[in-house]
Chains A and B, each alone.
Chain A
């Protein structure tokens, strides 16, 4: 039991938080989809064709390089469409659910095989590169984050629900697959009962809940090492699989944000369609809403006719900007124009009051001018600015030396929010990781 105190970072309070912990049940989704882009590192090769029937838990596709990695259907039904974009890139695999039976796995099989076949393997990630773990590599440690500290993020204790009973089994399974330990990182006051796991308490503002930040402050990833990362919900699902032979694809989703009429938790299925999920929920025309699957920092923008995306637990709806250009916005003295910096007056109002923010960038992209902005938002022993510069210039040696193996795009999300120069840091980090991965393989 260790306690890590973080001082860097920032807790951003947005309007539209959930006040009621009750969980409603969403209507049965009309369609369910898996988006291969959510499983970074996998190059999909389809196992099923359009029009075929799949059972819940049956593989939809496997990875081109490691054929054992499989992504499974979250519901039973008929594959309506394999939607392709440019250069035959698979955008989404759409299933019309029919309520059929789920696949039951044989729990006596080796743990790795069971994880791979059940699709739960694809729900984990590894450092370095923030991709689905490469089979055959034994991780140094396994890190499980038990809380989400992002703006308006769901309480993972609620998302867990009665699955919490399976956590101990999950820890037991993963302990056998690593040389080191299974770390579970909890926030202050959170209790996770998991014998065999190393429990760390993380105190501090966002990004304290990012598993990368937790690793960096407990046992940083070095070159040549691999660490698996997952959240507590996936850990419980792994436990459940080994206890019962079934994989649960049900999930509890927090639907919140300023443009949601009544922010609340809803129980549905992974990849459920938003038309059903958000029916009569939006506070305004769809053009005035930006629907984000995930949180405002790391989530993806989705259209109302699309689906819930991984990690399948959060939808935020914020105002999409339809206002005219702001006259001399840089000269504003309006305390409602939110900035964490004191160049604007919002700090006089208090930065902890919930604020309303829309999707505007509020400035042009520039070279990095101000110092220390990234470092203040990144509680790791890493010089963020120098690392970003190394990535932009494609200097692989420098990237390695400056610690790119320890980071994921999400770790730079808060810095991207705070960046005066408005650089797309998450995209830069992702490109750097992909480049390094291609170079190393």
Chain B
């Protein structure tokens, strides 16, 4: 690295790539810079490690997502006896292009932005780049993913000042952009199950009984007591949703994989347990409330609370999206309120707004907007307490 360094410094041939060089160098080698002012020793943790730990926590969901893409595909073409490894391989081939596109577009923009501002490349997109493939339906055309990622990184992040400054979760903005720009490709029969072949693998005639809607999609369009079926018409239970062999976005289906991720995040202390737990508490409470007041107009209200939490993107959002420290509430009290309201709104939107079968994305984005206000109120109480103390003269 040191040999090629000079050409990247100002005046060198490749000076335009200085940020990229720095990014690569600090990625490969943790610099041995020593402190100049202030404390003389520093904790070993840095943002790179923090972000990488989140990526590690996402790996179970990623691997299971790949398997499930294959499982759903072979189920749809009537070859459900196919071996699990073939299914996984199919899913890998199907998901890999999305991951590549997401990282290439996102990191590309980050590199350019860092170079323009002559700043070091920051690590934020490491996590965002893996979140995007996990929450975007598998049949989304790659160009749509690319456009949405570019939009989100530029307008939700870079214009606010980059990593650590954004107001809204970048991955969710990508999803929301897709959702509102190309609604027909984001729900219904054709979004969540890959039917054509991936790099020549798989492919075949789709069974006649095929319906590709997610359980929540079925619930939203059902009349009366909702009965959820898998893509070939077999009924599915809460347990199926817990394990995750149901149609849905790649990362969101399996509660098991998400829980492993949650344990990693909580054990390492990266995610706030306050937010994570209160999202589930809020969701469970709201789900119990709507279940107590069932209505045929809103079929989702007939789902029992636990099934509500196992379906859709609720768990994935609670564990990986709501806990984003940059866009969430930062005070302890604020985190309880923030999480609780996300849970409540997610179920509220899911049940009482038939236009959106899933409410998690909108609930988190809504609360992202309110997080600074929640924090402001919490901090104001501290300010008031201090002012009161100053005014009090014994």
Contact = CB atoms under 8 A, between A and B. Distances in A.
Interface string B153-167: 000000001111100
A424 B383 contact: no
A360 B386 contact: no
B129 to A, nearest CB: 16
A321 B32 contact: yes
A248 interface: no
Interface in A225-270: none
B46 A330 contact: yes
B34 A330 contact: no
Contacts of B140: none
A369 B331 CA distance: 13
B163 A369 contact: yes
Given A297-B39, A343-B268, A385-B330, A328 B44 contact: no
B39 A416 contact: yes
A364 B44 CA distance: 11
A118 to B, nearest CB: 32
A383 B385 CA distance: 13
B198 to A, nearest CB: 31
A366 B267 CA distance: 24
A222 B44 contact: no
A interface, over-half SS: loop
A299 B40 contact: yes
Interface in A354-377: 357-364, 366-372, 375
Given A343-B50, A369-B50, A402-B382, A359 B40 contact: yes
B383 A367 contact: no
Interface in B24-82: 26-35, 37-50, 52-53
B270 interface: yes
A362 B50 contact: no
A346 B330 CA distance: 27
B44 A337 contact: yes
A290 B28 CA distance: 26
B39 A426 contact: yes
On chain A, which size bracket covers the interface? 35 or more
B163 A427 contact: no
Contact of B270 (A327, A343, A386, A422): A343
B330 A363 contact: no
Given A341-B269, A344-B49, A426 B38 contact: yes
B390 interface: yes
A220 B37 CA distance: 28
Summarize B's interface: helix, strand, loop or mixed.
loop
Contact of B45 (A301, A368, A420): A420
Contacts of A316: 40
Contacts of B41: 14, 296-297, 318, 357-359, 417
Nearest to B323: A371
Contacts of A222: 386, 389-390
A410 to B, nearest CB: 10
A418 interface: yes
Given A223-B390, A224-B390, A369-B325, A383 B382 contact: yes
Nearest to A328: B28
Nearest to B272: A371
A417 B43 contact: yes
Contact of A363 (B37, B46, B382): B46
Contacts of A402: 379, 382-383, 386
Given A222-B386, A325-B30, 6 more contacts: A223-B390, A318-B40, A327-B28, A340-B45, A363-B42, A381-B382
User: 6 nearest interchain CB pairs?
Assistant: A363-B46, A329-B30, A367-B164, A325-B29, A222-B390, A339-B44
Interface of B: 26-35, 37-50, 52-53, 120, 122-123, 161-165, 267-270, 272, 325-326, 328, 330-332, 335, 375, 379, 382-383, 385-387, 389-390
Interface of A: 14, 220, 222-224, 290, 292, 296-299, 301, 316, 318, 320-321, 323-332, 337-344, 346, 357-364, 366-372, 375, 381-383, 385-386, 401-403, 413, 416-422, 424-427
